[in-house]
Amino acid sequence: MKNQNKVAFSRRNFIKTSALASGGLLIGFNFFTACKEAAQPPVDISKLNFNDFNAFIKIADNGYVTIFSPNPEIGQGVKTSMPMIIAEELDVPWEHVSVQQGVLDTENFQRQVAGGSQSIRFGWDALRQTGATAKQMLVNAAAAKWGVDASTCKASNGIITNNNGDTLGYGDVVSEAALLEVPENVTLKSPKDYKIIGKDAINVDMEAIITGKPLFGLDYTSEGMKYVSVARPPAFGQKIDSFDATEAKAVNGVIDVVQFGDKVAVLASNTWAAMKGKKALKVNWTNDNDLENTSDHDHELNKILNSNKLDVRREDGNVKKAFAEADKVLEHTYESPFLPHNCMEPMNFYANVTDDKVHLVGPIQTPAGTARRIANLINRNEDDIHLEMTRMGGGFGRRLYGDFALEAAEISNITKQPVKVIFSREDDMAAGIYRPAIKYRIKASIKDGKVTGYHLKEAAINSNMYGLIPNFFPAGAIENYKVETGNYRSKITTGAWRAPYTNFLAFAEQSFFDELAKELEIDPVRLRLDLLSNVEEGKDPSIEYSAKRMTDTINLAVEKSNWGKSRDGIYQGFAAYYSHNTHVAEVVDISMKNGNPMVEKVTVAVDCGIVVNPTGAKNQIEGGVIDGIGHAMYGDFSFENGQPQDVNFNTYRLIRMKETPIVETHFVENELSPTGLGEPGLPPAGGALSNAIKAATGQVLTKQPFINEFNKRKTDLSA
Amino acid sequence: MATFNLKVNGKSKTVNVDNDTPLLWVLRDELNLLGTKYGCGIAQCGACTVHVDGVAIRSCSVPASNIADSEITTIEGLAKEKLHPVQEAWKELDVPQCGYCQAGQIMTATSFLKQNPSPNNEDIRNAMNGNLCRCASYNRIEKAVALAAKKMS
């Protein structure tokens, strides 16, 4: 493991400074790339140019610090945790720091993307270096003022001191510091000296959130803005044939109705009129006879699992031989439905396309790519595009896709009006980009009481597990190991959904390991630990997880959950999973009430390296675990004739407070570089739950959502 | 179109909207009170919760014409000189993740605590069950309601 104190960075290359005309120091920095030779931070704070820099820090002449935080905030807490890292190394009191969302994005903005739980992991080095460099510049300026050697000076909590007992505030030397060379070799703090990292910092937007300030895309308005509701083909595969807007136009407040592509936009003076206008539209959609049903997907995915024409994604040893020589072969098939993201804030975007520029505002996880696509779509120069990110009412992967922003831009381009496209909940749930339906078939061979072979087949809609997943556990732990994937191209659109693929793969594998443990007559946790002990750390560099870190994480979960110590009416299930560079182990405690499982408690152990902001970190784990439990238990989404059967919360069931377990989170303590937390808590939850249900009822669950099994059983009993 | 006189957060407001316009869109689009959120439009998620004469209602499903002359309180009107104890509790326990549903959660909680000032956990779970939080900040909401009850006692 790399020591977080020794990172080779050339400071001069990625940090540049300027003296602000209004007083103070402005530092521009880039996360991965060097700054362009000619790039300079502006002297006017209103002219921040994110084309040249990923992010900026302003140190005002009162010593207060404003960080223009680069990454989009979707509820994962980076708007709080990333500035904490800068503030730590800069060594200013956290109360003196304020944070503003960086406005835009460009090609150069390498990682202005919220996704993959990677913001903190990638930002860690650059954020610390930038903070430490700024601090050194302030120290150098103070030393010059005093005429002493900078190495005899110290800075802490925004105050610089020297050996003579003199003190200067950061604000006292900021104008001088702004004129200095950017120093090359700065020392980073040792984790034991951290004052901000590792301490709870409440969400920087807290006051605004709890008092109802307009923060979100849906809250954005501008002079003359039209509210837009869009009619889209109701079934995947359908196209528009014709439409009649007479009644829509008669709705009070409706201003215009325009077709674009296979969609029809209703522009109105308020949201209600736009929604009513859309309902009053008469659209004839094409009548297709090849629209898809869930039963078709079922059939196609089974066909893939039964075929021998899958892509081999990883193969160690000889699986075929292992199965041929086995004493026993175990096989199970696991199934999951499509899932909509259901961000609480429905998709929406503002666009104002004028001859001068294209102004876009809204909640988007991928600002750079979306701006580029919009430039292509409406045939504009990328330099014309100005995109402002708002806070996002949830993302879960859905806002990686800019379809709603493209719609807004296209409508504004046609109508030459400032517009805001607003999805109703029904629009949002029916518009696609779902988690794909997936089936896994897992087969393992046992010989002389040992697991000798493991073969996993993935059949998924539209695309398959991404590159590194085949190298996750149990790769490296079982001698003969094979992962194969195949997909069926559907008209139903799919995309990333919190912890893509692993959100279901972990359930399949972790349930399967419990079956293996039963077969081997050993404790399920023991099975995982035994398998992990087969992995020689570092021997195979392609292996993604650390067997040691996973073992420590499992042991912590076992200790904190009272694993295996029976209590009346409580049944436990275990799962452990590595994803997004973080190791997580979970123990689910359930009880049975009226034949239904009640999830009482989930004990979680997490190794994410250094925990930057414990309250935020726990929030992510609590949310991820409950999200995983909720969707494994209730998430159901099917299609008839290309149309989703549920489009609002009256029939589509999300977990609610009464079904929610208490989540207790424990972190493995170490000084390793931090990794992300937005996703890794979710994948193990479904498996730990199914294993607990099995412990309670003996029933092996292979199909999500689990609630269908219980409802079915009740129907059978009453029949 | 009709003219309605509404009393929102202690101020008299006159709006000119269609009879069937839900209070939610009157608040958001006419009165620029954007703290009340749209989530589902069918009273299933609670994001749009406001108080009408002190009682929590789903503003997405109540036409403004039904509640003229009533006293409406939105999230913007909850804090007087300082934060409401429920807001204080939310802050203290760092409840929000994305934050979108929290105005509705807070409005449901404040109304509930007025009716039941010393709830047990089951009371809290029942009372808050109608408000969805997709980030699943439920553990903290539950604790924050209990903490607010303590603060108010």
Predicted confidence (pLDDT) per residue in B37-59, tens digit: 999 999 999 999 999 999 999 99
If phi > 0 it is left, if psi is from -120 to 50 it is alpha, else beta; for residue A405 that is alpha
Token pair, residue A421, equals 């496209």
pLDDT of residue A704: 97
Relative to beta strand A65-69, strand A97-101 is parallel
C-beta separation of A586 from A554 below 8 A = no
Long-range contacts of B75-79 (CB under 8 A, 24+ apart): B75/A210, B75/A211, B75/A212, B75/B35, B75/B36, B75/B50, B75/B103, B75/B106, B75/B107, B76/A211, B76/A212, B76/B9, B76/B33, B76/B35, B77/B8, B77/B9, B77/B10, B78/A211, B78/A212, B78/B106, B78/B107, B78/B110, B79/A211
Q: What residues in B contact A225, CB-CB < 8 Å?
A: none
The residue among A278, A286, A284 whose CA lies nearest residue A423 is A278
| CA–CA dist A166, A146 (Å, integer) | 9
| CA–CA dist A339, A623 (Å, integer) | 17
Bridge partner list, A481:
A316, A454
What residue spans of A265-394 are helical by DSSP H? 271-280, 294-306, 319-324, 367-377
Question: Contact B39/A342, CB-based, under 8 Å?
Answer: no
Token pair, residue A182, equals 């950017």
Question: Contact B136/A623, CB-based, under 8 Å?
Answer: yes
C-beta separation of A74 from A113 below 8 A = no
Q: How far is CA A108 from the centre of its chain?
A: 21
- Find the distance separating the first CA and the last CA of chain B, reported in whole Å: 46
pLDDT of residue A116: 55
Length of chain A counted residue by residue:
719
Question: How distant, in Å, are the alpha carbons of A159, A228, A449, A565, A583 from that of A516?
Answer: 60, 54, 10, 21, 22
Q: What residues in A contact B29, CB-CB < 8 Å?
A: 227, 270-272
The residue among A192, A175, A176, A119 whose CA lies nearest residue A144 is A176
If phi > 0 it is left, if psi is from -120 to 50 it is alpha, else beta; for residue A214 that is beta
C-beta separation of A21 from A43 below 8 A = yes
Residue that is written with structure tokens 């570089």 in the block = A673
- Its pTM stands at 0.94
| CA–CA dist A188, A151 (Å, integer) | 14
A75 reaches B (C-beta below 8 A): yes
Hey, what CATH topology would domain A438-718 get? Answer: Aldehyde Oxidoreductase; domain 4 (3.30.365)
If phi > 0 it is left, if psi is from -120 to 50 it is alpha, else beta; for residue A192 that is alpha
Peptide bond into A705 cis (omega under 30): yes
| CA–CA dist A496, A632 (Å, integer) | 17
CA distance B57 to chain A (A): 17
Question: How distant, in Å, are the alpha carbons of A16, A329, A330, A362 from that of A449?
Answer: 62, 12, 13, 57
| CA–CA dist B118, A489 (Å, integer) | 56
> Which letter, b or e, does each residue of A613-635 get, where b requires 16 or more Cβ atoms within 10 Å of its Cβ?
bbbbbbbbbbbbbbbbbbbbbbb
A661: DSSP letter:
P
CA distance A99 to chain B (A): 16
The fraction of chain B above a pLDDT of 90, given in percent, is 93
C-beta separation of A689 from A587 below 8 A = no
| CA–CA dist B5, B15 (Å, integer) | 7
Token pair, residue B35, equals 């703290």
Question: Contact A252/B87, CB-based, under 8 Å?
Answer: no
- Residues near A404 by beta carbon (within 8 Å), at least 6 away in sequence: A347, A348, A349, A362, A421, A423, A431
B63 reaches A (C-beta below 8 A): no
| CA–CA dist A563, A588 (Å, integer) | 10
Q: What residues in B contact A622, CB-CB < 8 Å?
A: 136-137, 139-140
pLDDT of residue B22: 98
| CA–CA dist A697, A708 (Å, integer) | 15
Predicted confidence (pLDDT) per residue in B82-113, tens digit: 999 999 999 999 999 999 999 999 999 999 99
CATH 3.30.365.10 fits A11-209, yes or no: yes
Question: How distant, in Å, are the alpha carbons of A496, A606, A708, B96 from that of A505?
Answer: 14, 19, 20, 29
Q: In this structure, which amino acid lies at residue A714?
A: K
C-beta separation of A226 from A417 below 8 A = yes
The residue among A31, A44, A103 whose CA lies nearest residue A72 is A103
The residue among A506, A553, A509, A508 whose CA lies nearest residue A529 is A553
Peptide bond into A340 cis (omega under 30): no
A222 reaches B (C-beta below 8 A): no
pLDDT of residue A47: 73
Q: What residues in B contact A649, CB-CB < 8 Å?
A: 40, 42, 44-45, 132
Minimum Cα–Cα distance from A652: chain B residue = B44
Token pair, residue A692, equals 């607990």
Q: Which domains, and CATH codes, for chain B?
A: 2-77 (3.10.20.30), 85-152 (1.10.150.120)
The fraction of chain A above a pLDDT of 70, given in percent, is 92
ipTM of the complex: 0.98
Do A217-288+347-422 and A438-718 show the same overall fold? yes
Token pair, residue A380, equals 């504009």
CA distance B112 to chain A (A): 15
Helix axes B121-128, B102-115, angle to 10 degrees: 130
Token pair, residue A579, equals 């994803």
Q: What residues in B contact A213, CB-CB < 8 Å?
A: 35
For residue A625, the SS3 value is helix
| Option in B28, B42, B134 nearest A648 (CB) | B42
Question: Contact B136/A620, CB-based, under 8 Å?
Answer: no
C-beta separation of A80 from A73 below 8 A = no
B16 reaches A (C-beta below 8 A): no
Q: What residues in A contact B21, CB-CB < 8 Å?
A: 270, 272
The kind and range of the H/E element at A617 are: helix A614-634
Domain coordinates in residue numbering, chain A:
11-209, 217-288+347-422, 438-718
For residue B10, the SS3 value is coil
| CA–CA dist A76, B97 (Å, integer) | 7
The residue among A495, A424, A492 whose CA lies nearest residue A235 is A492
pLDDT of residue A20: 86
CA distance B81 to chain A (A): 12
| CA–CA dist B7, B21 (Å, integer) | 16
Flag residues of chain A having pLDDT under 50.
1-9, 11, 105-114
Q: What residues in B contact A424, CB-CB < 8 Å?
A: 41
Which CATH number is A217-288+347-422 given? 3.30.365.10
CA distance B62 to chain A (A): 13
